Structure 1
Amino acid sequence: PELAGWRPFLHAKMGEHCLDILSKPDRLPPSDKAEFFRRTAEMFRDRKPEGVQVPAGLRVLERGWPAYRLRRQSGRAGRELVRRTRQAGGAAAGRLGRVRSAVNARRPLDPDLALYSAFSHRGVLGDPAAVYHKAREIAPRLRGVWVVRDEEDARLLPPGTEHVLLGSSAYRRVTERATYFVNNVNWPGSLAKRPGSVHIHTHQGTPLKFMGADLLAKPGARHGVDVPQMLRRADRWDYSLVANRHSELVWERAYPCHFTSVRTGSPRNDVLVNAGPEHGRRVRERLGVPEGHTVVLYAPTRRDYRRGGHVDRIDLARLAADLGEDHTLVVRLHPSLATGHARGMGLSELHRRGVVVDATDEPHVEDVMLASDLLITDYSALMFDYALLDRPIVVHADDWGAYAASRGAYFDITADAPGHVSRSYRELAWLLESGAWRDEESARLRSGFRARFGAYDDGRAAERVVRTLMLGEAMPTPDPAVTVPAARAVPAAGRDQLTFS
């Protein structure tokens, strides 16, 4: 009796379930459907609770098989009418859109309209963000508009950021009129490059692994990548920004297209060159790093020889414990692994327990670098930027052979490293325990690496892009012979070396 109140609900669910079975083409033979309906209607009538009003959608069970068939046929006819109406409306909208685009294509470009995007329209990030902020500072007449994927990303934009949603009518209007296009990935293939428009491609750092056309020799690495389409899109670039001679040669080889390489430096690295110690302290406070701790940043990259890209090369809990109580281990995964299973395999739990700090979601990786005292990485391009800080780097290369064979590499990072190289956890532990990670040899290796790959990063890259490529002003190119000023380190007070517990 205490469950009697559930009878109306169960009665309705019974009718809904039986009608659902009846509506599906693969659940019953056509010859059995009439009998199935008859038995369902009989059961529905016999078990109807007293005083219950039958929902409108189930009343067909009280009207018989012919009424049910008529409703089904009229429903299909109605849906087909709606489909055809939408199809006709879509075709008309498409024709109208093409007419509008043709009209806008005849209108002159807006010389003060610049369109920005970064990391497949994820927000105000990376090199495009640095160019955008510098343009707002020294060329306020330029109207900067960001392209974002959806409303969720739009809500994360800084207040007051003008933006359009990818594929929207507003997006089509600005892409048809903009003069400047700044991106660190390719724009969609549907975007037609108008004569007179200027496409500035910033890239995403210095390349170690194979890119572009070089992936044609690596079938595993190019899985899911349409290289010919990538090259067609790259052929819209007018300028390719480079931070060093190595990048210049690689991009011209990997993307044999009609662009001009510009030795500007990497705009996003201006903050690494120019930031003072206060910047790093603020970031440490935001991340919850205790005062006086030595911060070790671990930044692994993805693997092309493993489905999903994630391979656990280091036991994070063990490393955090070995570092000692006066150290904080900060982990930043590759962006492509941020939403994958890698964080669910222990990193999120270690962060929750306070064993490590998971900085994968920090929007600006430069902040994370400025907050750290040592970088441990494998083959991440982060090392090229981190070297500008003139802080120690350890390359943990325990699977270099597999990585280079599967993805391809432009040089052997273990032979031309920015610091000491470990090929096992035991070697890594020795480097940290002995203090060799910050010895004279480490400094020598770092200095040579920085001179080679930070040659054009003088702290004025974003300004150089805005003035020379957007405003048409003259500005001297960086002189590789001049030593790049290192950002001031933020060492933990009184710490000479990493110690193990």
Structure 2
Amino acid sequence: RKHFDIHDQYERVFAYVDHHPELAPWRPYLHRKMGEHCLDILAKRDRLPPSDRAEFFRRTAAMFRRHTPAGARIDGEVAVLTGPYAAYLARRQAERAGRELGRRGLQVRRAAAGRAKRGVFAMAARRPLDPHLVLYAASSHRGVLGDPAAVYYKAREIAPQLRGVWVVRDATDSRLVPDDVEHVLLGSPAYHRLAARARFFVNDVNWPGTLVKRPGSVHVQTHQGTPLTYLGADLLGKPGARLGLDVPQMLRRADRWDHSLVANRHSELVWERAYPCHFASARTGSPRNDVLVRAALDGPGSGAGAAFRARHGIPADHRVVLYAPTRRDYRRGGHADRLDLARFAADLGEGHTLVVRLHPCLLTGPARGLGLAELHRRGVVVDATDEPHAEEVMLAADVLVTDYSALMADYANLDRPIVVHADDWAAYTASRGAYVDITAVAPGHVSRSYDELAALFASGSWRDAESARLRARFRSRFCEFDDGRAAERVVRTLLLGRSMPAPDAVRVPGPATGHDLLAST
């Protein structure tokens, strides 16, 4: 009966208000809030035993009537406190019946909509596949992004006979699609008609499980970078990392792939292990990295990098330090503050700008409210998490600081310094798992504490000869097939069925030190 104490607590609050006339304007709000609070307790079955519920209601109703302000309007949920307990029970039963009726009605409507959509698909599927129709999607249908976007724009350039249509999630994402890009909403009748006739499907994640793959259609899976940590079937042994993921369903969807794009032989081994399905690996390189490869000989002040700097007011002569941490599976919400960003920005000193880009899955989470948004508002750092195109952010950066993010393999194409901040490597690998010991094959110096990280920048070691040697070793292994023509190679060989020279083969060295988890499992 501990919840009965709520009445005494509210009596003390009302007594306090009575002794402080200046608080009188708050009485109507307090009165309504008291009624809503007590009704909330009563509505939750685990709060009160059934034998005490009627008494709790009567006490609440008596207190509610006793403290009703003069002229107060009693409406809405709290109006039941002006009547008997039997009326309250009748209202609750009516609400439950209404919710059940609504739930069943929703099921009926969804079933009918599903039948209608299947009917649209079935009617369109009576017609032959359109050999020139390509459906594109990226980042769970969020827009024209990543590798699929690079393939799409290259196809527009060299294969204008191909009709490219993007599938986006909803009207909000639709507004972000450029005006000259044809697109449809996921699940719409137009989507089902196109999905029934498209010859090619290009995506960096999986298409919905409801999509039926017609004989003759070709699915090209671009992925989202080089896999350094566990994915797919390897997550079955990592319950924390696969929370909310249906791995068997992922594998069923992956069984629709025909081609899996890889930027290196490491990725080829990982994708074939993590997704043991019926696809062929295509050594094309990563299409979204073409722009990075081409910019490798240019400075960060040109092209898209200059546009990013100008957009965020970064002086042209500033050294841009990009901090891009990955998510943490051992933390609720996926975010962990591994650095004091204000301190790091201050320690970098004049002439430096700290740019922060969180993992895309944290875009709408609470992580950005834990100080990052305020630091951005004050001009201490630049928050680039909202930037849709990671390539522009990387092009603007002079040096990358990351932990275990696959972004390091993309950024390495620029041949600019990289620092790996691995202060929680043991905890991270225990919760997520990794195919390689990133601290052993790192593309630059490794720091294991903030003091070590600050010392690397204070001393200039972050760009010394040893960091260049480590980066060259990393590039030879993880940038193997990235030659700046990946998107063209995908279009010519996979969409048009023509031949094109493969990327120059590069010897893949094993890690100089440490334990290669991929080779040992």
Q: TM-score, normalised by structure 1?
A: 0.81
1:81 positional shift: 9.7
Aligned counterpart, 1:211? 231
Residue 394 of structure 1 aligns to which amino acid in structure 2? V
Query: Are residue 198 (structure 1) and residue 198 (structure 2) matched?
Result: no
Aligned counterpart, 1:327? 352
1:99 positional shift: 3.7
Identity %: 75
Residue 185 of structure 1 aligns to which amino acid in structure 2? V
Residue deviations 1:57-88 (CA, integer Å, cap 9, x gap) = xxxxxxxxxxxxxxx99999999999988877
Aligned counterpart, 1:361? 386
Aligned counterpart, 1:144? 164
Q: 2:397 aligns with which of 372, 385, 399?
A: 372
Residue 341 of structure 2 aligns to which amino acid in structure 1? L
In structure 2, relative to structure 1, the CA distance for the partners of 1:314 and 1:481 (3 Å cut) is: same
- The answer to whether the 8 Å contact 2:360/2:385 transfers is yes
Return the alpha-carbon distance in structure 2 between the equivalents of residues 106 and 445 of structure 1: 56
Q: TM-score, normalised by structure 2?
A: 0.78
1:378 positional shift: 0.6
Name structure 1 gaps, 5 residues minimum. 1-24, 26-54, 56-71, 484-501
1:404 positional shift: 1.1
| 3-state DSSP of counterpart to 1:413 | coil
In structure 2, relative to structure 1, the CA distance for the partners of 1:219 and 1:85 (3 Å cut) is: closer
Query: Are residue 176 (structure 1) and residue 176 (structure 2) matched?
Result: no
RMSD: 4.3
Return the alpha-carbon distance in structure 1 between the equivalents of residues 353 and 167 of structure 2: 36
Name structure 2 gaps, 5 residues minimum. 1-44, 46-74, 76-91, 296-300, 509-521
In structure 2, relative to structure 1, the CA distance for the partners of 1:438 and 1:94 (3 Å cut) is: closer
In structure 2, relative to structure 1, the CA distance for the partners of 1:344 and 1:85 (3 Å cut) is: closer
Residue 250 of structure 1 aligns to which amino acid in structure 2? V
Q: 2:260 aligns with which of 240, 253, 272?
A: 240
Residue 167 of structure 2 aligns to which amino acid in structure 1? V
Residue deviations 1:298-335 (CA, integer Å, cap 9, x gap) = 11111111111111111000000011121100110011
Q: 1:462 aligns with which of 467, 481, 487?
A: 487
1:481 positional shift: 3.8
In structure 2, relative to structure 1, the CA distance for the partners of 1:350 and 1:83 (3 Å cut) is: closer
User: Following superposition of structure 1 onto structure 2, how do residues 3-402 of structure 1 map, counting pairs within 5 Å?
Assistant: 94-275=114-295, 277-402=302-427
1:91 positional shift: 5.3
Return the alpha-carbon distance in structure 2 between the equivalents of residues 88 and 414 of structure 1: 54
Residue 318 of structure 1 aligns to which amino acid in structure 2? R
Residue 240 of structure 1 aligns to which amino acid in structure 2? S
1:248 positional shift: 0.4
| 3-state DSSP of counterpart to 2:366 | coil
| 3-state DSSP of counterpart to 2:152 | helix
Query: Are residue 434 (structure 1) and residue 459 (structure 2) matched?
Result: yes
1:364 positional shift: 0.6
Return the alpha-carbon distance in structure 2 between the equivalents of residues 350 and 365 of structure 1: 21
Residue deviations 1:76-124 (CA, integer Å, cap 9, x gap) = 9999999988877765555444444333222111111111111101000
| 3-state DSSP of counterpart to 2:442 | coil
In structure 2, relative to structure 1, the CA distance for the partners of 1:79 and 1:404 (3 Å cut) is: closer
Q: 1:473 aligns with which of 488, 491, 498?
A: 498
Return the alpha-carbon distance in structure 2 between the equivalents of residues 89 and 466 of structure 1: 41
Return the alpha-carbon distance in structure 2 between the equivalents of residues 423 and 325 of structure 1: 25
1:480 positional shift: 2.5
1:220 positional shift: 1.6
Query: Are residue 415 (structure 1) and residue 440 (structure 2) matched?
Result: yes
1:278 positional shift: 3.6
Residue 224 of structure 2 aligns to which amino acid in structure 1? Q
Count, aligned residues: 479
1:223 positional shift: 1.6
In structure 2, relative to structure 1, the CA distance for the partners of 1:234 and 1:76 (3 Å cut) is: closer
Farther off after superposition, 126-135 or 474-483:
474-483
| 3-state DSSP of counterpart to 1:456 | coil
| 3-state DSSP of counterpart to 1:464 | helix
Residue deviations 1:404-448 (CA, integer Å, cap 9, x gap) = 111111111111110011111111111111111111111111111
Return the alpha-carbon distance in structure 1 between the equivalents of residues 464 and 101 of structure 2: 77
Residue 439 of structure 1 aligns to which amino acid in structure 2? D
Return the alpha-carbon distance in structure 1 between the equivalents of residues 101 and 438 of structure 2: 63
Residue 255 of structure 1 aligns to which amino acid in structure 2? Y
In structure 2, relative to structure 1, the CA distance for the partners of 1:149 and 1:289 (3 Å cut) is: same
- The answer to whether the 8 Å contact 2:120/2:193 transfers is no
1:222 positional shift: 1.4
In structure 2, relative to structure 1, the CA distance for the partners of 1:104 and 1:375 (3 Å cut) is: same
Return the alpha-carbon distance in structure 1 between the equivalents of residues 343 and 102 of structure 2: 61
1:213 positional shift: 0.8
Farther off after superposition, 270-279 or 302-311:
270-279
Return the alpha-carbon distance in structure 2 between the equivalents of residues 78 and 318 of structure 1: 55
- The answer to whether the 8 Å contact 2:233/2:247 transfers is yes
1:226 positional shift: 1.1
Return the alpha-carbon distance in structure 2 between the equivalents of residues 85 and 436 of structure 1: 66
